[in-house]
Amino acid sequence: MHPLDEAIDLKPGAPNTFTGAPHPAYANMVGPFGGTTAAQLLQAAWLHPERLGEPVALTVNFAAPVAEDEILFLARPARTNRSTQHWVIEAQQSGDTVATATAVFALRRETWSATEAVMPSNLPDPASLARMPSPGPIRWPQSYDMRFIEGPFPETFDEQEQDHSRSCVWVRDEPERPMDFASLAAMCDSFFPRIYVRRRRRSPIGTVSLTTFFHADSIQLAQVGSQHVLGVAKALNFRHGYFDQTGEIWSPQGQLLASTHQLVYFKD
């Protein structure tokens, strides 16, 4: 079983509740990688017997470090309409809230469609690029195969401020795993903190809020399979302890699979 599938293998409990735990393959500096927690929160709605359709929007707020202990997930369909469903989700440990989330699920229909964002072009193939070595002993980056075109995790924190924080990277689960909403939700948090790319300076950071819009449905995700997808990310603003980070995940065939936006605390 793939580590991500183990991580999202939540056990149903009382109505609207599931239990799970952090997975060692996604361990971070303190607690688990937030992307995996986001995937678990989404999975609590996905597994719910009253689920309608597929996710189109997910917001996760990281309220406290998640301990290496059981997590209780509470997933409540707050409103179910004909073609949309609104979820309020919460993760608790020992009775305390460690994360909150909301999600919108929907039944999609064929409509006029168009992509206005522009995927970077003339990119080298993933196979022609070296896989990024894991930056230090942290476990979760080893659960991704990342091949950077621009803006990698700094090789050295030399405190040479860069003039931008843009990154462009081919990424896939490691080991390989067919793309689905759980892996896409997690991958949307796999961009390293923009402030590291920009400042090349160590500073404690922590995502406080992460929003992902899913532009793809499960059919499109199945077509991606276990290929690398392209991630692009940048920051818009750093100010007084918080910066934002905005990203896109593209299929190799040029379909925008997700757009994702997060707000991150930084210490100094």
**C-alpha dihedral, 125 to 259 to 18 to 144, nearest 10°:** 20
The alpha-helical segments, DSSP class H, found in 138-208 are 181-187, 194-199
Query: Looking at 75, 169, 179, 235, which residue binds a second copy (CB under 8 A)?
Result: 235
Residue 260: is it exposed, middle or buried by C-beta count within 10 angstroms (0-12/13-18/19+)?
buried
- Our CB check for a second copy shows the closer of 190 and 245 to be 245
Say if residues 260 and 59 touch (Cβ distance below 8 Å).
no
Residue whose entry in the numeric block shows the structure tokens 């999600």: 103
Shortest distance, position 28 Cβ to a second copy, whole Å: 18
- Our CB check for a second copy shows the closer of 131 and 202 to be 202
Query: Looking at 19, 115, 223, 253, which residue binds a second copy (CB under 8 A)?
Result: 115
- Our CB check for a second copy shows the closer of 25 and 75 to be 75
184 near a second copy, judged by CB under 8 A: no
102 near a second copy, judged by CB under 8 A: yes
- Our CB check for a second copy shows the closer of 36 and 260 to be 260
Tokens standing for 188?
């949307």
218 near a second copy, judged by CB under 8 A: no
- CA–CA separation, 118 and 139 (whole Å): 33
- CA–CA separation, 157 and 105 (whole Å): 41
64 near a second copy, judged by CB under 8 A: yes
Query: Looking at 144, 153, 170, 266, which residue binds a second copy (CB under 8 A)?
Result: 266
Stretch that binds a second copy, among 84-92, 120-128, 137-145, 173-181 (CB under 8 A): 84-92
Say if residues 244 and 237 touch (Cβ distance below 8 Å).
yes
- Our CB check for a second copy shows the closer of 100 and 143 to be 100
Q: Is 138 helix (H, G, I), strand (E, B) or coil?
A: coil
State the DSSP code for 141. Answer: G
With CA atoms as reference, report the closest residue to 38 among 111, 140, 119, 172: 140
- Our CB check for a second copy shows the closer of 28 and 85 to be 85
What's the half-sphere exposure (Cβ side, CA atoms, 13 Å) at 250? 21
Query: Looking at 1, 14, 94, 114, which residue binds a second copy (CB under 8 A)?
Result: 114
Which distant-in-sequence residues (6+ apart) come within 8 Å of 240 by Cβ?
none
9 near a second copy, judged by CB under 8 A: no
Positions touching a second copy (CB under 8 A) are 56-57, 59, 61, 63-64, 78-79, 81, 84, 86, 88, 90, 96-98, 100-102, 104, 106, 108-117, 164-165, 198-199, 208-209, 211, 213, 215-217, 234-242, 244, 246, 248, 256, 259, 261, 263, 265-268
